[in-house]
Amino acid sequence: MATMRERVEAALGTYVGDTVADTCVRGTALSLGKSADDLTEADLPALESSIRRLLGPIAPSSVIDDLLTKIQKGF
Amino acid sequence: MATESVPAARKNSVMAPATYVGAGVLVGLTAIYWFLSTQMYADVLGDTAYAMSYWFGTLLQIVFAVVIVTIALRIGLDQGVGKQWLFVGMGVAAFAIGDIIWTVLELHMGLDPYPSLADPFYVLQYVFFMTAIVLAIRSYQHLTPIRTPVIIAAAIAIILGIVVYAALLAPHIFPAGIAELGFWGLVVSTLYPLGDVFFILAPALALALIIRQLGAGRLGWPWWVIVVGAVVYSFTDAFYSYADWSGLGLTVTLDMGWAVANLMFALAALVARDVYRVR
């Protein structure tokens, strides 16, 4: 089963590229006092908040909503 | 044992068939204008055909502007990206209005349209385009470093500004001065080549360096097309002045640069529409 990190990076990478996606996930994990590999379902609200803040200026909210839905469903 | 790995990205194309059709129509219209321009340059058209060809090119700019503004409005002005694309569209619209005024003055009134009321609208394209690109650059500030790309672009712009000064302003424009060009003629003759470098090319270079960090990320796609258009626009505009003043001579290819640049901006908006579409 894909880890939370892999799910988020796969979804984000489509839009912002793998490198930036990786940076986003690691940054969010760091703000939670975790490593990216330790992210779990429980961290979804924090990830969602982080993704909305980062992507909000560069993508319409409908795209971000769709992306978050895919992450929650594991695609 | 079956393993569930990272879900694969969807295989369906990001670009909708309607986008290819729309892009094909715009490219086709531009190609027709290119052909008409060759006939205009060859001086083989009658008065009516010449006027219709002239207006075809002018109206083409309006089509480009309408495409971009419509897409910006569909994205929504409550969205950050919607505003960015609206400014791109307003820039092309300003250029189109300038072209309409230029056409009326030159074609129907027999006046020299340089400088004229058309120039404030051409200048407005710089203002709107730079606003759009600065907003786009700032929107990436939480995702990727933007300071270094901006500094590199500024350094390149300064070098190119010196080239413009050495090749065009110092040997041609400034010696002609107010005596030959008039006050406003001198102002716009100085502003255009420098504006091309500092207000079009430099912001586009900075944006290119920023979205380069997105790799294949699709949110960068439309901005790459914008960058190509900006490069075409700035080189066309600056080199047109140089070719005119240095006696190098003007060509159809050079004259088509503005239309091709605005075409690229319209194609970029079409790409943006698809990239921002939820599937």
Beta strand segments in A1-75, E: none
The per-residue pLDDT of chain B, averaged, comes to 94
Q: What angle do CA B96, B31, B52 make, to 5 degrees?
A: 55
Residue type, position A68, single letter: L
At B210-265, the pLDDT tens digits run: 999 999 899 999 999 999 999 999 999 999 999 989 888 888 998 899 999 999 99
Q: How far apart are CA A46 and CA A14, in angstroms?
A: 20
Q: Which residues of A touch B79 (CB under 8 A)?
A: 60-61
Structure tokens at A19: 């490198």
pLDDT given at position A75: 56
In this predicted structure, the answer to whether residue B5 has a pLDDT above a threshold of 50 is: no
Q: Does B1 touch chain A (CB under 8 A)?
A: no
Overall average pLDDT of the B110-135 stretch? 97
Given an 8 Å threshold on Cβ–Cβ distance, is B9 in contact with A7? no
Say which of A7, A18, A75 has its CB closest to residue B215.
A18
At B174-209, the pLDDT tens digits run: 999 999 999 999 999 999 999 999 999 999 999 999
Say which of A2, A6, A57 has its CB closest to residue B139.
A57
Q: How far apart are CA B37 and CA B39, in angstroms?
A: 5
pLDDT given at position B248: 85
Beta strand segments in chain B, E: none
pLDDT given at position B1: 40
Overall average pLDDT of the B258-273 stretch? 98
At B127-155, the pLDDT tens digits run: 999 999 999 999 999 999 999 999 999 99
Q: Which of B33, B88, B39 is nearest to B59 (CA)?
A: B33
pLDDT given at position B12: 58
In this predicted structure, the answer to whether residue A70 has a pLDDT above a threshold of 50 is: yes
Residue B123 CB contacts under 8 Å (≥ 6 apart), including other chains: B188, B191, B195
pLDDT given at position A74: 77
What burial letters (b/e) apply to B198-212, b meaning 16+ CB within 10 Å?
Answer: bbbbbbbbbbbbbbe
SS3 B76: coil
pLDDT given at position B10: 47
In this predicted structure, the answer to whether residue B3 has a pLDDT above a threshold of 90 is: no
Cβ proximity of B106 and B115 under 8 Å:
no
At B156-176, the pLDDT tens digits run: 999 999 999 999 999 999 999
Residue B41 belongs to what H/E stretch?
helix B17-41
Overall average pLDDT of the B25-31 stretch? 98
Following CA atoms A8, A13, A17, A20 in sequence, which dihedral angle do they give, to the nearest 10 degrees?
Answer: 0
Q: Which residues of B touch A19 (CB under 8 A)?
A: 213, 215
pLDDT given at position B8: 46
> How distant is the alpha carbon of residue B154 from its chain centre?
19
B2 pLDDT band, cuts 50/70/90, is very low
Its ipTM equals 0.91
Sign, Cα dihedral of B250, B61, B274, B127: positive
Given an 8 Å threshold on Cβ–Cβ distance, is B276 in contact with A16? no
The tokens 């001579």 sit on which residue?
B249
Q: How far apart are CA A25 and CA A47, in angstroms?
A: 8
Beta carbons within 10 angstroms of residue B190's beta carbon = 18
Q: Give the minimum alpha-carbon distance from B157 to chain A in angstroms, rounded to a whole number.
A: 26
Whether the model clears a pTM of 0.80, i.e. scores above it, the answer is: yes
At A15-44, the pLDDT tens digits run: 999 999 999 999 999 999 999 999 999 999
